[in-house]
Amino acid sequence: MAASIVARIADGRGGAKALWGLLGCWRVRWTWYAAALLVFPALLVAAALVTRSLPGAVWTAWHLPFWIVLGELQLFGPTYRLLSWLWISAGSVYLTWLMNNPGNSLPMALLVHGGYNLLSDVVPAHRMLVALGWAVAIGVIAAFGPKTLRRSR
């Protein structure tokens, strides 16, 4: 309605008629429908991922002394810090979701952390592992929504 008023002010009665005439323009490529329908869910997913990056940074800093003691930072080089942050940030999405949704279950969080530890021992923060971690994080948010990352009271 607002667009009709603006079109009438800008272009007179003909502008409003032309605008309403565009309602019949449904034959566009499917990619435009996908863009129109997916932009807001994608923004919600992106916002959820960004908000989980801060805990990922804190958790990475928390683990830093451990990695120094184990010599992992020296062994795997400078990109290891970045890959570790990305890996932990992705994992924080899944870990938060898994903690909050089955009734704030600490055993679930402990199980996934143990699984992380086992996997990290076998495959240290490798690019493919980080990519898979983010695929899982995005999948969780896309399937269950960003609200599932907040603790229910």
Contact 96, 149 (CB under 8 A): yes
| Number of residues assigned to the chain | 153
Please state the domain count of the chain: 1
Distance between CA atoms of residues 27 and 134, nearest Å = 35
- Indicate whether 131 belongs to any domain: yes
Decide if pLDDT at 71 tops 60.
yes
pTM higher than the cut 0.75: no
pLDDT at 152: 58
Contacts of 102 (CB under 8 A, 6+ apart): 108
Decide if pLDDT at 105 tops 60.
yes
CA distances from 4 to 13, 20, 107, 129 (A): 9, 8, 57, 51
Q: What percent of the chain has pLDDT above 70?
A: 92
- Produce one character per residue of 98-111: b if its CB has 16 or more CB atoms within 10 Å, e if not: bbbbeeeeeebbee
pLDDT tier, 4 (very low <50, low <70, confident <90, very high otherwise):
confident
Phi, psi of 103 (to 5 degrees): 80, 40
Residue range(s) defining the domain that contains residue 111: 30-149
pLDDT at 50: 73
Greater confidence, 152 or 99? 99
